[in-house]
Amino acid sequence: MSVPSPVPAVPAPVSAPTQADLLDFVRRTVADAELIAALPLDPEGRTWMRLDGPGGSEAWLIGWPPGTGTGWHDHADSIGAFMTASGELKENALAARLPTDGWKTLELTDGVDRERRLGAGQGRAFGRHHVHEVLNESPDRHAISVHAYYPPLPRIRRYSRTGPVLRLEQVERPEDWQ
């Protein structure tokens, strides 16, 4: 009588994190006071620490000196979430679906601008192709935030803005910032 050989266990497929999963992750991370305090802060430039995000996502702890910001950008095909751990961040965003490729200049319509002020413990999730800029407008206080993206950022598109005109200026890939 032969004994069947054991069948190796097949790991269950990991499902991709949702916007809600990423928002939950940044919320839990912001609550880790020891981790937040471990981020070195620079008086002049942003600082960051890579984190292990859920389900293969990319995550970052970021320190924002007074008066710094990202400039207008999007995260291409990634969804994301971010939350302020300390200080206050301002997010300017566009409530408009932009073409994903094949353009250099767009004239935005009235009513697409959105502004949010996110104090400690406040954050948001966003979908693919979300165009925004994040700023620390404080004249004298650092802000710290946690960000998560899925899939890990394939590219970031950077824009300039003059009034209603949005212009694609540069496309960055991971090798440009790591």
Per-residue pLDDT tens digits for 133-167 = 999 999 999 999 999 999 999 899 999 999 999 99
pLDDT for 178 equals 61
Model confidence at 7, pLDDT cuts 50, 70, 90, reads: low
Residue 106 CA: distances (Å) to CA of 101, 144, 162? 12, 32, 11
Q: Which residues contact 160 (CB under 8 A, 6 or more apart)?
A: 71, 72, 166, 167, 169
pLDDT for 93 equals 97
| Helices (H) then strands (E): counts for the chain | 3, 12
Q: Which two tokens stand for residue 140?
A: 């004298």
Name the 3-class secondary structure at 102: coil
Per-residue pLDDT tens digits for 42-99 = 999 999 999 999 999 999 999 999 999 999 999 989 999 999 999 999 999 999 888 7
Q: Could you give the strand order of the β-sheet that contains 79-86, starting from the edge strand earlier in sequence?
A: 47-52, 58-64, 143-150, 79-86, 123-126
pLDDT for 9 equals 56
pLDDT for 124 equals 97
User: What span, in angstroms and rounded, lies between the C-alpha atoms of 19 and 52?
Assistant: 16
Name the 3-class secondary structure at 33: helix
For residue 6, is pLDDT > 60?
Answer: no
User: What span, in angstroms and rounded, lies between the C-alpha atoms of 28 and 18?
Assistant: 15
User: What span, in angstroms and rounded, lies between the C-alpha atoms of 86 and 32?
Assistant: 12
Instruction: Please give the single-letter amino acid code of residue 80.
Output: G
Task: Give the closest residue to 169 by CA, choosing from 115, 119, 103.
Answer: 103
pLDDT for 8 equals 54
Per-residue pLDDT tens digits for 88-141 = 999 999 998 887 778 899 999 999 999 999 999 999 999 998 999 999 999 999
pLDDT for 13 equals 52
